[in-house]
Amino acid sequence: MSRKLFIAGNWKMNTTLQSGLDLANGLKETIGSIDEIELAFFPPAVYLKSICDAVAGSNIGVGAQNMYFEDSGAFTGEISGAMVKDTGCKYVLLGHSERRHVFGETDEMINRKVLKALSDGLHVVLAVGELLEEREAGKTMEVNERQIRIGLEGVDAAAMSNVTIAYEPVWAIGTGKTASPEQAQETHAKIRQLLEKLYNADVAAATRIQYGGSMKPSNAAELLGQPDVDGGLIGGASLKVEDFTALVKAGL
């Protein structure tokens, strides 16, 4: 079955309000009318409403980089799924390697966030991926399988229509190293086999698996051309209008 490519820009802790608006407005002009590819930005939380307003009327969606698994309360510094939706967002990125490795989020905590985000009506992009030492030890799929199994625990087959998996080899994030198209395809195919085991063939065939990890205009066409690579979760290259535009157009 054909899956619509989904390319999203993770801005991480970058941009000011003005540079974020300039970026959003620039991209609205260059790619905002594309509907063959699903497009989204993940700006910093403080700018979500402004960026949602800026891209309104285009085909670009907006998501939060994180959320907490409670509705409200004494959780200083956190934001809830309801708050994310209130800004106009429809996506949330969960389990990014920086949340796991810099902030110590566990698979179990990420699972609680996934379940809450889905119950709040958000589309979840669940990021998974192995460290360099894990790849070198031959543990790539062991790590991905654990992160996916625990991350999706309690998520039924029907809810999977609101889940995208983002495979991000941690050793390729912001390092300039990229998994070869063959490495990416091999891991994506194995993730799809795992989804078939956890759910069924229909869910496995319908779920999009993005590649993240130094995808840029020069390698995007080859990566996006792999049969099981269904888009990209883009870091650095999403912060420049010309780079992200070229990357998205490589998927057309």
Kindly list the catalytic residues: 96, 168
| Lookup result for tokens 């956890």 | 198
> From CA 129, how far away is CA 95, in angstroms rounded?
10
67-68-74 Cα angle (round to 5):
130
How many other β-carbons are positioned within 10 Å of the β-carbon of residue 108? 10
